[in-house]
């Protein structure tokens, strides 16, 4: 090492940019939940045997309450970008969900994709959820979005009544949700208007009903494999 380098001393430390943190990953405090129904048995089914061994279970179906600003960290940045399209915001276990009306879904998706402060380049898919006791909002569609630019993940949740389960398709905005929307239609009966080919993806085209709804029977439909018949679950063994 030269005398000049010795005299100069060690190089000054380079200041690193602060990393934005999301709220701490903790459960909601006791009592801060919104009840939306009651589940009987392990699966909540009716009119058929429950082979889980938890047929006598009675448990409330609860939903975390709406959060209030400030949400913390980058959550507020995303919320600012989506205002005024947001109906409510839920933060639970360090994850944020934006509840949005069906009519605002396309506008919200375009903002998430195109706003330079948001840049959610990927919609990782859509999942269906069925809350039979949530009157007028029985079917929920939950979209997962990822910003690869900022390494952020959020959810957008939209609800519709099972009597009119129509949502606009996000295929024109995020083409990769094509098969995810078909699965949500196949399993829950959510109709995505504008989808290029909304047909069943898992079940046969003439299959009756939507197997992942809570009101779908748990059994009672025999399944055949190469000539061998498998009886419905409630007929395989006795739990009396």
Q: How confident is the model at residue 22 (pLDDT cuts 50, 70, 90)?
A: very low
CA nearest to 144, candidates 119, 165, 127, 169? 127
Contact 133, 140 (CB under 8 A): no
Establish if 142 belongs to a structural domain: yes
Opening angle at CA 22, ends 169 and 76, nearest 5: 65
Average pLDDT over the chain reads: 83
Q: How confident is the model at residue 49 (pLDDT cuts 50, 70, 90)?
A: low
Domain that holds residue 147: 64-219
Residue 179 burial (CB < 10 Å; 0-12/13-18/19+)? exposed
Say whether pLDDT at 17 is over 50.
no
Q: What is the pLDDT of residue 47?
A: 59
Question: Which of the two residues, 230 and 38, has the higher pLDDT score?
Answer: 38
What's the number of domains the chain is made of? Answer: 1
- What is the average pLDDT across 191-208? 92
Say whether pLDDT at 173 is over 80.
yes
- What is the average pLDDT across 128-155? 95
Nearest-angstrom CA–CA distance, 97 and 229:
44
ω into residue 95 within 30 of 0, thus cis? no
Q: What is the pLDDT of residue 27?
A: 47
Establish if 144 belongs to a structural domain: yes
Q: Which residues contact 53 (CB under 8 A, 6 or more apart)?
A: 42, 239
Establish if 45 belongs to a structural domain: no
Say whether pLDDT at 119 is over 90.
yes
Q: What is the pLDDT of residue 6?
A: 53
The percent of residues in the chain predicted with pLDDT above 70, rounded, is: 73
Q: What is the pLDDT of residue 204?
A: 85
Helix (H) or strand (E) holding 113: helix 105-114
Q: How confident is the model at residue 41 (pLDDT cuts 50, 70, 90)?
A: confident
Say whether pLDDT at 125 is over 90.
yes
Say whether pLDDT at 120 is over 60.
yes
Nearest-angstrom CA–CA distance, 177 and 179:
6
Question: Which of the two residues, 24 and 64, has the higher pLDDT score?
Answer: 64
Determine how β-strand 139-147 pairs with β-strand 152-160: antiparallel
User: Residue 79 phi/psi, 5° resolution?
Assistant: -60, -40
User: 3-class SS at 220?
Assistant: coil
CA nearest to 120, candidates 90, 161, 81, 62? 81
Predicted TM-score (pTM) of the model is: 0.76
Q: What is the pLDDT of residue 225?
A: 55
Q: What is the pLDDT of residue 50?
A: 62
The percent of residues in the chain predicted with pLDDT above 90, rounded, is: 54
Say whether pLDDT at 168 is over 80.
yes
Establish if 54 belongs to a structural domain: no
CATH number at residue 104: 3.30.460.80
Establish if 147 belongs to a structural domain: yes
Say whether pLDDT at 137 is over 50.
yes
Question: Which of the two residues, 97 and 31, has the higher pLDDT score?
Answer: 97
Q: Is the dihedral of CA 42, 43, 47, 48 positive or negative?
A: negative
Establish if 106 belongs to a structural domain: yes
Establish if 15 belongs to a structural domain: no
Establish if 198 belongs to a structural domain: yes
């Amino acid at each position: 090492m030269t005398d000049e380098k010795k005299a100069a001393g060690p190089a000054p430390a380079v200041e690193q940019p602060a990393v934005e943190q999301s709220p701490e990953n903790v459960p909601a405090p006791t009592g801060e939940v919104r009840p939306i129904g009651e589940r009987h048995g392990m699966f909540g089914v009716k009119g058929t045997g429950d082979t889980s061994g938890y047929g006598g279970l009675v448990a409330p179906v609860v939903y975390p309450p709406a959060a209030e600003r400030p949400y913390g960290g980058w959550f507020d940045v995303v919320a600012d970008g989506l205002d005024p399209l947001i109906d409510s915001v839920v933060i639970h276990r360090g994850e944020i969900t934006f509840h949005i009306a069906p009519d605002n879904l396309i506008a919200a998706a375009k903002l998430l994709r195109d706003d330079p402060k948001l840049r959610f380049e990927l919609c990782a898919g859509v999942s269906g959820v069925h809350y039979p006791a949530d009157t007028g909002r029985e079917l929920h569609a939950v979209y997962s979005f990822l910003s690869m630019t900022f390494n952020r993940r959020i959810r957008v949740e939209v609800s519709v009544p099972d009597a009119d389960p129509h949502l606009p398709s996000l295929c024109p905005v995020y083409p990769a949700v094509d098969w995810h929307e078909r699965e949500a239609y196949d399993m829950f009966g959510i109709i995505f208007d504008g989808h290029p080919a909304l047909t069943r993806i898992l079940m046969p085209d003439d299959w009756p009903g939507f197997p992942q709804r809570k009101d779908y029977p748990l059994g009672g439909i025999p399944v055949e494999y190469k000539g061998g018949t498998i009886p419905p679950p409630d007929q395989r063994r006795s739990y009396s």
